[in-house]
Chains A and B, each alone.
Chain A
Amino acid sequence: MLTIAGRTFASRLIVGTGKFSSAQVMQAAIAASGSEMVTVALRRVDLNDPGDDIMRVLDREKYVFLPNTSGARNAEEAIRLARLAKAAGVGNWIKLEVTPDPRTLLPDPVETLKATEVLVKEDFNVLPYINADPILALRLQDVGAAAVMPLGSLIGTNQGMLTRFQIEIIIEQASVPVVVDAGLGAPSHAAQAMEIGADAVLVNTAIAVSGDPVRMAVAFADAVRAGRVAFEAGLGVVASEAAASSPASGLSFLR
């Protein structure tokens, strides 16, 4: 079982709620994923077009809401968003995102650390989105982050586990859960993250913009389970020379 901040989750797949074609498709895909934690964003209400209220579509009893601070460019903005999220009454979870550069959406490590310190003191369960930096992961853990969320590759790029080797170091060193977030574009990417020992993965774009989000959610759920079981079972050592799987003996009749 996955445990973050004292709460246990049967599923190791966290699903984002952005980019779905409709609230109904999102609801069905999340149900199919078996996920128990979903991310949401906070935005000013468009008074001329309020749109679907996501809170009416998602069952608060069924899912832990993990609001993000997307759009924040510094610690101050992220803290403001986190406080607004808490005021919404969906708990004290926060996925801390501080992304000053719109081109890469890479997280600002200094501002992320600063905001984590403040929010931990305000009793938030802080899950910071970070570059795959093992030292930063330790620093965040030291100031009380509930988990760390290193990126596999840039948000929304579907490029997979480009940071695999740094994430392996993070996993090896961290005492808090490691949730691989961002860039996981295929179930195989999610499986790879789980095989190397990630505690969970967060997937949004790859499910939401798939031709069939419900089936893709199932595929990711299966991949996450498979990867986790493989990690627990123990993968073989990678070698540079061949080692025959069939017996080397009993071939004398051939020659």
Chain B
Amino acid sequence: MEIVCNGEKRHVAPGTGLVEFIRSLELDPATVVVECDGLILAKETYEGQELQDGMVLELIQFVGGG
């Protein structure tokens, strides 16, 4: 199935979990903020979240800034 993550189409296996997906990008689920189909996900819900075909994800993180 296909999702859109940060504007890019990505193929993922059906049943892929959000945490697993974030880790596959070599990112830390503890420090990444996720917007899923326009809604901000609470950190506590990452664990049970499964990716669905057509999902639009935004992965946001803190960077240096003033």
A→B interface (CB under 8 Å): 16-20, 26, 39-47, 50-51, 53-56, 65, 67-68, 70, 83-85, 87-90, 155-156, 182, 202, 204-205
Nearest to A70 among chain B residues (CB) is B65
Contacts of B33 in A (CB 8 A): 42, 84-85, 87-88
**Does B66 sit within 8 A of A, measured CB to CB?**
yes
Is the pair A87, B40 in contact by a Cβ cutoff of 8 Å? yes
Bound CA–CA A87/B25 (angstroms)? 20
5 nearest CB pairs, A to B: A41-B65, A16-B66, A204-B66, A17-B64, A55-B31
Q: Would you give the 0/1 interface string for B37-65, flagging 1 where the beta carbon is closer than 8 Å to chain A?
A: 00011110000000000000011111111
Question: CB-CB < 8 A to A90: which residues of B?
Answer: 62
Assess whether B65 is in contact with A45, with CB atoms less than 8 Å apart: no
**Chain B residues with Cβ under 8 A from A17's Cβ?**
64-66
Q: Which residues of B contact A (CB under 8 A)?
A: 5-8, 25-28, 30-33, 35, 40-43, 58-66
> Which of the residues A45, A65, A155 comes within 8 Å of B60, measured between beta carbons?
A45
> Are B31's CB and A45's CB within 8 A?
no
Chain A residues whose CB sits within 8 angstroms of the CB of B32 once the complex forms: 45
| Interface contacts beyond A42-B62, A68-B65: sample of 12 additional A-B pairs, CB < 8 Å, sorted by A | A18-B66, A20-B64, A40-B63, A43-B60, A53-B27, A53-B31, A54-B63, A55-B61, A56-B31, A84-B40, A87-B43, A88-B33
